Structures are given as structure tokens and as C-alpha cells.
Amino acid sequence: MNTRYPFPASPNGWFSIGAADDLVQGDVKPVHYLGRELVLFRGEDGCARVFDAHCPHLGAHLGVGGRVCGDGVVCPFHGWRFDGEGQLVEVPGLDRTPRASARAWHVCERNGRIFVWHHAADAPPSFDVIGYRDDEASWTPWRSSTYRVRVHVQDLTENIIDRAHFGKVHDMAAPDQDHFEVSFSGASMVVEQSLKVTAVSKTGIEVSTRTTTCGPGIAAIEVNQGPLEMLTYIAQTPIDDQLTEVNLLFSMKHLLDEESTKSISELNDQITNVQFTQDVPIWENKIYRERPIITKVDGPVAQYRRWFRQFYSDPE
Ligand code: FES
Ligand SMILES: [Fe+2]
């Protein structure tokens, strides 16, 4: 992000690097996130793994032509074989293998996504990825949309508490039951609020939402209203120092009537994508004001930024 933001592009935390369903046993893929070249693969034990991409031998990319062997991967260039922990275990034609390894990342598969733990100083995970949809069979499959946006993840999440933009950017009306409450606890920020969405009906639909972030890379928006249980899950991952990939995922608990489930899903998906797209030109062209002028109609921006600082190894 160079001069645009006064902090690193990749904060510390869990970041999604793909959908779990897109990686079947034996798949090996090159991926580029967090300013790094990585190899993502699913071993014969069914576990997803992520290593630094380039082989410690002569630097081939393990994700381009490499293949799964056991729980590990074999380099496409000279056949060096690494186990599931990244340890070198075989060099073709050599009885004793030199001590070498490919750096293995912490991986967590949850909520249909594959997450890696990123920490600038290589510290181990300090929190878990919060799980949702425990009774998965009673929820609809994830609907998903992916965007690449020129914005920092800190600015993306700041949007959740930026109350003053809801009316202006998203055409939301003031809710009849005004409620807006923000709390911070460890790696999570929890925002409970009522919103009046006017994207699909002029009179507006009022909903109570609870948004829970999980570090700098994940936000879950829950709506529980009568028979409706809906979850919008946002996974955002820095690609490099300019771009962030955002996955907007939606799932809801099946209603008795499958037709209603389908139409509500489609409607919600449409609203989420419209609202997201409305923010994009603002995000891509704004600057970061270190000392913004905050008024009482704004959300708790200063508090949010203080909380977010925990995700940088060297806060300014
Ligand atoms: S570069 Fe990987 S085995 Fe030679
Ligand atoms: Fe927004």
C-alpha cells in the first residue's frame, strides 16, 4: 500500500485463500496472497496444506506441476519430496537427504473456506476462526461472489461502524427502532444495529443485525428474525500492497417452503452485492486520514482504529 496507508498491507490474522470445495484430494495449486507466492494442496489424508511456493533446492514453484504424495508434495523440477510438515524426506538418487524444508503455514478449514494464519513476526495463531452453521445440512449451500478492490482491509472493516455513510452511499433510511451498539473483545468487534434497507422496496425493510469480526480478515453478519436465520460471511484477504480480494458469502437456514428460501436468498444476495458495489469507488479513491474530524453522527472510528492496531506487529 506504500504511501497510501501508514501501516503494512497484511495485518496479522487468519485470511481466506480459497473455497474448501474447490480443492479436492490430490489437487495442487499456485496461489498468490499476502504479497507471497504459495502452494495450496490437499494431501491423501484429506487435509489442506499451504507451503511457501519455491522449492529450497533450485527454486521451482511447487504449485506449478508439483504433485501430491502421501500428505506432502513432490517438486516438479528434480523430484524432491516434502512431507505434510514441509520437511524434505526424499531426494531421488540420494541415500541421505540433506536437512531442508518448505515453510508450512498454519491452515484452518472452516465455514467452507480455507484460511491461513499470517503473522509478520511468525508468531503462532493467537485466536481461532469462529465457526458458524454447525448443523450444516439445515443451511443452504454458500452463494459466493468475489471482488478485487484497491483498498486496505482496515478500511473495509471500518465501513461496518461508519454509520454516517449508510444513508448517503447505501440509500438506507433511518430505522424506526434506532439501535447501534459496538463492543470490542480480543480479536472480535461486535456491532449490533438495526438497519432499514431500501434497496428492494421503497418503504424499506427493517432488520436487526449482529456483525462479528474475527481478526482483520473475517466478518460475519447474522440476522435472526422470526423463522429467518441468515448469515452473510465476508472473507477479505490482501493480495499485495495494493489489492484486496473480498469474498461475499451468503447462506440461510432452510425454511419449510423451498421456494421462499430460494427467493429470499436471491434477494439478500442481490442487496449485499449492490451495497458492496456502492462502496467500491469510495474505497478505491479515498486516502487514509490519520487524524480525521469525527462528529457525534459518525461511528466510533477512533476506538475502532485503536482496537485494530493489535493486528500489527509494530504499531506506530
Ligand atoms: S527445484 Fe525443487 S527439486 Fe529441484
Ligand atoms: Fe458501506
Tell how far the Cα of 77 is from the centroid of ligand 1, in angstroms: 5
| Domains of the chain by start residue, with CATH | 13-118 (2.102.10.10), 136-311 (3.90.380.10)
Pocket test for ligand 1, best of 52, 62, 69, 77 (most atoms within 8 A of CB): 77
* pLDDT tens-digit map of 11-47: 999 999 999 999 999 999 999 999 999 999 999 999 9
pLDDT the model gives residue 3? 75
**Which protein residue's CA is at the shortest distance from atom 3 of ligand 1?**
78
C-alpha cell at 28: 495442487
pLDDT at 200: 63
Question: In this predicted structure, what is the pLDDT of residue 172?
Answer: 86
Provide the percentage of residues in the chain whose pLDDT is more than 70: 97
Q: What is the DSSP string of 166-209?
A: HHHHH-PBPPSS--EEEEEETTEEEEEEEEEE-SS-TT-EEEEE
* pLDDT tier, 204 (very low <50, low <70, confident <90, very high otherwise): confident
Counting ligands in written order, the one closest to the CA of 279 is 2
The protein residue with its alpha carbon nearest to ligand 1, atom 1, reads 58
> Which ligand minimizes its atom distance to the CA of 169?
2
Angle, CA of 280, 281 and 284, to the nearest 5°: 80
Q: Is the distance from CB of 144 to CB of 156 less than 8 angstroms? A: no
| DSSP-assigned beta bridge partners for residue 232 | 221, 250
